[in-house]
Amino acid sequence: MFSVGGVVSRSNNKFRVNVIVDRCKECGLCIFICPTKVLVRSGVMNRYGYYPPDPVFIDKCVGCKLCEYVCPDFAIFIEKV
């Protein structure tokens, strides 16, 4: 995992999950919708007091982008590596 400018990124050599930490309002939709349960609630607050998702189980990511599509704050996006 690395964090640059408020973005947390993890890669599994196929896909990279990027979370823009300060955009997240902790709605939990991305965590709920992920079919392979890649995302978990972070233990670290963003500057607004919310706990953004953390792609802890990145090896399970299949690049479906459901988390990206469901996020109302555009706080998460997936890249093909």
- Is the predicted pLDDT of residue 1 greater than 50, yes or no? no
Task: Give the per-residue pLDDT at 3.
Answer: 52
Expressed as residue numbers, the domain containing 63 is 2-80
Specify the pTM.
0.89
Strand, coil or helix: 19 = strand
**Is the Cβ–Cβ distance between 43 and 26 less than 8 Å?**
no
Task: Give the per-residue pLDDT at 5.
Answer: 58
Tokens 């990206």 identify what position? Answer: 68
- Which candidate, 67, 6, 54, places its Cα nearest to that of 76? 67
Model pLDDT for residues 53-77, shown as the tens digit of each residue: 999 999 999 999 999 999 999 999 9
* Residue-averaged pLDDT of the chain: 93
For the domain that residue 46 is a member of, what is the CATH number? 3.30.70.20
The helix or strand, by DSSP H or E, that contains position 9, with its residue range, turns out to be strand 7-11
**Within a 13 Å sphere around the CA of 54, how many CA atoms are in the beta-carbon half?**
13
Percentage of the chain surpassing pLDDT 90? 93
Structural domains of the chain, count: 1
